[in-house]
Amino acid sequence: MEVVGRHPFRATHPCMGTMASLHVHDEADETVLVAAAQAVAAELDRLEAMFSTFRRDSEISRTNRRELHLLDCSPEVVDVLDACTWLEHASGGAFTVHPPDRPGTIDPAGYVKGWATERASRLLTEAGLVDWYLSVGGDLQAHGHPRGADRWVFAVAHPLQPGEVVATLTVDDGAVATSGTAERGRHLWDGRTGERATGLASITVTGPHLAWADALATAAFAMGSEGVEWVAGFDGYHALAVDLDGRVVADPVLAAHATS
């Protein structure tokens, strides 16, 4: 990672087609901070090399070309695909790892980014750090609290009004993930119809684990407004969505955070 600030410590690293951003507010020796940041970057790179559909030598690409059997894949690949299979059933097929535009292939991207970010963030705890957050492409896992404050505060960008904020969320030990159209357009599929998901502009999910917050956001986006209630059925997870007309739909826990 490239260090971009020291008080508090901040570092960035390009990965997964976006940027990872690490913020650490612990009072710690810089050698500890730099080593932890480098370990996080290395883990993100390792997992990207394993799962990327844009790399011909990744295990996912080799599996899609029938050069590698799933049973011979790394344990991480098997674990991720097991989680994706469970999520496909739990979402009634809305979540899918089988892109309709690429028949016969698998692409677990809807789960991997959040899972990889959370997995890499554990290295910060193992390094003895307490007050930090790690964000990849805007989806983040946070721990502890920022210097001089009780909780982290994160803004949810409005997907239809650049520069505007939909909600302001406070987080201590938890995650925030957003799926939407603002950055990449309509890139998410509804596995039930085989068509691009078109019901929402964005949906943001909060919860204890980024792996599931990100995956639930992907599935709920495909469901449309009903996805908000579906997310609330999972203990500790909550959702706030913006529809195509700019209306905010949120469960009671997050409704109070919405900007009027």
Interhelix angle 75-90/109-126, nearest 10 degrees: 120
DSSP tag of 235 = T
Whether 62 is in a domain gets the answer yes
Tens of pLDDT, residue by residue over 3-46, are 998 899 999 999 999 999 999 999 999 999 999 999 999 999 99
Per-residue pLDDT, 197: 85
What's the CA gap between 154 and 213, in Å, rounded? 15
C-beta of residue 127 within 8 angstroms of C-beta of residue 39 = yes
Q: Per residue of the chain (260 residues), what is the pLDDT tens digit?
A: 899 988 999 999 999 999 999 999 999 999 999 999 999 999 999 999 999 999 999 999 999 999 999 999 999 999 999 999 999 999 999 999 999 888 899 999 999 999 999 999 999 999 999 999 999 998 999 999 999 999 999 999 999 999 999 999 999 899 999 998 655 556 688 889 988 888 899 999 999 999 999 999 999 999 998 999 999 999 999 999 999 999 999 999 888 877 75
Whether 260 is in a domain gets the answer no
Q: What's the CATH code of the domain at 25? A: 3.10.520.10
What's the CA gap between 217 and 250, in Å, rounded? 13
Closest CA to 200 of 173, 182, 174: 182
Helices (H), 52-179: 59-64, 75-90, 109-126
Whether 71 is in a domain gets the answer yes
Query: How are the residues of the chain apportioned to helix, strand and coil, as percentages rounded to the nearest 5?
Result: 35, 25, 40
Per-residue pLDDT, 8: 95
Domain range spanning residue 228?
Answer: 2-255
pTM for the full model?
0.94
Look at the chain and report how many structural domains it folds into: 1
Per-residue pLDDT, 225: 87
What's the CA gap between 24 and 147, in Å, rounded? 9
Return the SS3 of 98: coil
C-beta of residue 195 within 8 angstroms of C-beta of residue 189 = yes
Return the SS3 of 162: coil
Residues in the chain: 260
Whether 177 is in a domain gets the answer yes
β-sheet bridge partners, residue 192: none
What's the CA gap between 260 and 183, in Å, rounded? 23
Which class for 39: exposed (0-12), middle (13-18), buried (19 or more C-beta within 10 A)?
middle
Whether 154 is in a domain gets the answer yes
